[in-house]
Amino acid sequence: MTTLKIADREFTSRLFVGTGKFASNDIMARAIQASGTQMVTVALRRVDIENENDNMLAAIDRKKCQLLPNTSGARDADEAIRLSRLARAASGINWVKLEVTPDPYYLLPDGTETLKAAEALVKDGFIVLPYIHADPILAKKLQDVGCATVMPLASPIGSNQGMKTRASIEIIIEQATVPVVVDAGLGAPSHAAEAMEMGADAVLVNTAIATAADPIEMARAFKMAVEAGRIAYETGLAPKTTASASSPLTGFLRNEE
């Protein structure tokens, strides 16, 4: 399996893991370990000044895993830029998963605001990984303004519906010169394998792992699926035909007429 290069960093794992929705920091840490991931997303929120705050970062081994702060909650470009700068101040990391989702129901990304924010953040020295609808034209524009990847959604965030946008993601993969990370909606290891077989460079999974009955085993299943899909892509799938016997068509236990 080849390594994945994003900006100036190389990754041997092609599975990114989101850290939301885990039942505990301990389960999250063990799932991260089982997934073999080298990149985990985190969000920024206000401190609760009335109650004790949990320090989830302490559960992440930052020697093995790079943090990828997201801008979740941002409803427009300005809010996303503000969150990115806060994330950089908080973590010392200039990577950001840019997401602008004004629609609170389907959480679909706003392409216009995302492009505006991406342009400003690239100029400000950020490594920008934008979360987008599977829109090949927008993907190209984001690439042209200097984004390090594009991250098209497979289906709405947290929906576990799999590769509903497959045809558009195929076009994005065909045209992109930056890595394509399929994000959102991958609900089963087979969905992740499908994305990787198509030639996606990586996938990001959160809900499907975090809310599984056993997140640690599910993380392991996703790891295997991502590797299997990638190896299949690099090897090249055998061509599709109408039918072609796998067993010999001679020597049957009967006399040929």
Partner 1 sequence: MSAILKINGQEKTFEKGLPATLSELLDSLKIDAATVVAEIDGKIVEREDFAQTNLAEGQAIELIRFVGGG
Distance of CA 134 to the CA centre of its chain: 13
Instruction: Choose between 141 and 184: whose C-beta lies nearer to partner 1.
Output: 184
Tell me the torsion sign for CA atoms 106, 107, 108, 111: positive
**3-class secondary structure per residue, 146-172:** CCCCEEEECCCCCCCCCCCCHHHHHHH
Q: Taking the complex as a whole, how short is the minimal distance between the CB of residue 55 and partner 1, in angstroms?
A: 5
The single residue of 21, 63, 97, 123 carrying the catalytic annotation is 97
Among 30, 85, 133, 140, interactor with partner 1 by CB under 8 A: 85
End-to-end Cα separation, the chain, in angstroms:
50
Q: Taking the complex as a whole, how short is the minimal distance between the CB of residue 19 and partner 1, in angstroms?
A: 4
Residues 186-215 binding partner 1 (CB under 8 A) are 204, 206-207
Nearest alpha carbon to residue 176 among 200, 203, 202, 205: 200
Dihedral angle at the C-alpha atoms of 55, 60, 62, 65, nearest 10 degrees?
Answer: -140
Instruction: Choose between 38 and 207: whose C-beta lies nearer to partner 1.
Output: 207
Does an H or E element contain 134, and which?
Answer: none
Instruction: Choose between 35 and 91: whose C-beta lies nearer to partner 1.
Output: 91
CA distance 133 to 99: 11
Instruction: Choose between 86 and 137: whose C-beta lies nearer to partner 1.
Output: 86
Binding marks (x or -) toward partner 1, 111..130, rule CB under 8 A? Answer: --------------------
Say whether residue 222 binds partner 1 (CB under 8 A): no
Q: How far is CA 119 from CA 7, 70, 105, in A?
A: 16, 16, 27
Instruction: Count CB neighbours of 45 within 10 A.
Output: 8
The stretch near partner 1 (CB under 8 A) out of 64-72, 173-181, 188-196, 221-229 is: 64-72
Residue 58's φ and ψ, nearest 5 degrees, are -60, -25
Q: Taking the complex as a whole, how short is the minimal distance between the CB of residue 169 and partner 1, in angstroms?
A: 18
Binding marks (x or -) toward partner 1, 4..23, rule CB under 8 A? Answer: --------------xxxxx-
Question: Across-strand partners of 67?
Answer: 40
Say whether residue 104 binds partner 1 (CB under 8 A): no
Binding marks (x or -) toward partner 1, 37..56, rule CB under 8 A? Answer: ----xxxxxxx-x--xx-xx
DSSP code of residue 57: G
Say whether residue 91 binds partner 1 (CB under 8 A): yes
123 labelled catalytic:
no
Which residues participate in catalysis according to the annotation? 97
Please report, as ranges, the residues that interact with partner 1 according to CB under 8 A: 18-22, 28, 41-47, 49, 52-53, 55-57, 67, 69-70, 72, 85-87, 89-91, 157-158, 184, 204, 206-207
